[in-house]
Amino acid sequence: MRNGGNHYGPTAGILPLREHVAARYVRWDRTTSSSNVIITASGSEALMSAALALYDPGDEVLVPNPGFVLYGPHARLAGAIPVPYSLTEARKFQPDLAELERLVTPKTRAIVVNSPSNPTGGMFTPRTVDRIVAFAQAHDLVIVSDEVYDEIVYEGEFVSFVGEERSRRRRELVLEDVRRHR
């Protein structure tokens, strides 16, 4: 307060925090600027803001099942229709691309992914991530990647949807939550 920090901050968040978040992407060989970062009060607020910004009434959104409980309700609040895709233990919680192909329609706007997953803990393999990126590109879908658990990995290595080789098209939205980081 003595330094004048007693006013409303910018809607996107204060610049030093946005710069810090942007710098984290170097770990995936990706650079971004603070102008591509928006700070929200919570991960759930970020999900809701994303839904309202991306989905129009009547759009369809592919959402994981099981998945975080707010993916479907946020889509519905934006007027979109959540279309669940299966994540099963038998498939090691990897989506079935044939199922995704059956579910996608001309009304499909986005696919929501969550790895490591809440609630299963399943984590997408690099091959799965690449296949989902190719699927999204083929159908002109936005990837909404909920990566709030990216640092809670017990086996294997986390693979982000924002790695440089995966992100040339720049049609992904990554959500993180500072509470989940060390």
pLDDT of residue 165: 56
Largest CA distance in the chain: 59
54 three-state secondary structure: helix
Do residues 66 and 142 both lie within one domain?
Answer: yes
Give yes or no for residue 17 having a pLDDT over 80: yes
Return the closest-CA partner of residue 115 out of 107, 106, 125: 125
Tokens 């290595």: give the residue.
157
| Residue 74: band (very low, low, confident or very high) from pLDDT cuts 50, 70, 90 | very high
Q: How far apart, in whole angstroms, are the C-alpha atoms of residue 173 and residue 146?
A: 8
Average pLDDT value for the chain: 86
Please check whether residues 110 and 165 belong to one and the same domain.
Answer: yes
Both 166 and 83 in one domain: the answer is yes
For residue 102, name the pLDDT band (cuts at 50, 70, 90).
very high
pLDDT for the residue numbered 134: 92
Residues 101 and 126 in one domain: yes
Q: Tell me: do 66 and 32 sit in the same domain.
A: no
Per the structure, the count of domains in the chain is 2
**Are both 112 and 29 inside the same structural domain?**
no
For residues 4 and 48, membership in a common domain is answered with no
**Residue 159: CB atoms within 10 Å:** 20
Q: Could you tell me if 3 and 74 lie in one domain?
A: no
Alpha-carbon distance 132 to 138, whole Å? 10
Query: Residue 135: which CATH number?
Result: 3.40.640.10
- Clarify whether residues 7 and 96 are in a common domain: no
Instruction: Give the integer Cα–Cα distance in Å for 108 and 62.
Output: 7
Tell me the per-residue pLDDT of 23-47, one tens digit each, with 9 for 90 and over.
876 666 566 777 777 777 888 998 9
Higher pLDDT residue, 153 or 130?
130
State the Cα–Cα distance between residues 150 and 116, nearest whole angstrom.
6
First to last CA, the chain: 27
Tell me: do 121 and 62 sit in the same domain. yes
- Do residues 71 and 120 share a domain? yes
Domain that holds residue 6: 1-39
CB 131 within 8 A of CB 97: yes
Would the pLDDT of 83 be above 70?
yes
Match 């519905």 to its residue by tokens: 76
User: What is the CA angle 149-155-158, rounded to 5?
Assistant: 45
How far apart, in whole angstroms, are the C-alpha atoms of residue 17 and residue 24?
11
pLDDT surpassing 90 at residue 57:
yes
Question: Please, which pLDDT band fits residue 52 given cuts at 50, 70 and 90?
Answer: very high
Same domain? For 24 and 57 the reply is no
- Per the model's pLDDT, the better-predicted residue between 138 and 27 turns out to be 138
